[in-house]
Amino acid sequence: MGYGLIVAKGSKISLLQYGVIHLSKYANHALKLKKIHERITQLIEEYHPDEVALEAPFYGVNVQSMLKLGRAQGVAMAAALIRDIPITEYAPKKVKAAVTGNGNATKEQVARMLMNLLKFKVAENEMLDATDALGVAVCHVFQKGDNRKKAQSWSNFLTDNPDRLHRTSKKTKKDNE
């Protein structure tokens, strides 16, 4: 199970922490759920998030896998709800579309886009559960951003978003003299 924490200030998003809760070493599902709850609680106590975003359960071919995933999500939700932290869920296709522009993107495409956006590097196919979680966090920020007022003109947009302005200078023949 992956997790990702980001900081969003205005239109800037930065990476705070990400990782994977490795559960294969635990023998039974109840113990795995306990470990998920402990780690999510630890992350909440350490970082004090304002909100939690989760990937909504999705129906796969294997009903048992779906049931186990739903329980794990429920345990993570309970850790946040106990502390009155608001929770939002996003469908996997919504997350992929928000991050890559394509709801059918692969996990690897989402990871590459996040590495570019958040300026970090992981080896290909490594930590995909963590980058999935970061994708949900970024999707949440982008969805909240959709509620911002729209600029009435380019001038207003540039005034309201100075951090999104990229200045370049061109030397003219006169500058070189």
Enumerate the active-site residues: 55, 129
Q: Which helix (H) or strand (E) holds 51?
A: none
Residue 5 to residue 15: CA distance in whole angstroms = 7
Annotated binding residue 55: yes
Annotated binding residue 46: no
| DSSP of 54-76 | EEPP---S-HHHHHHHHHHHHHH
Give Cα separations from 69 to 46, 74, 76, 140, 151 (angstroms).
25, 9, 11, 20, 41
User: Known binding site for Mg(2+): residues?
Assistant: 55, 129
User: Known binding site: residues?
Assistant: 55, 129
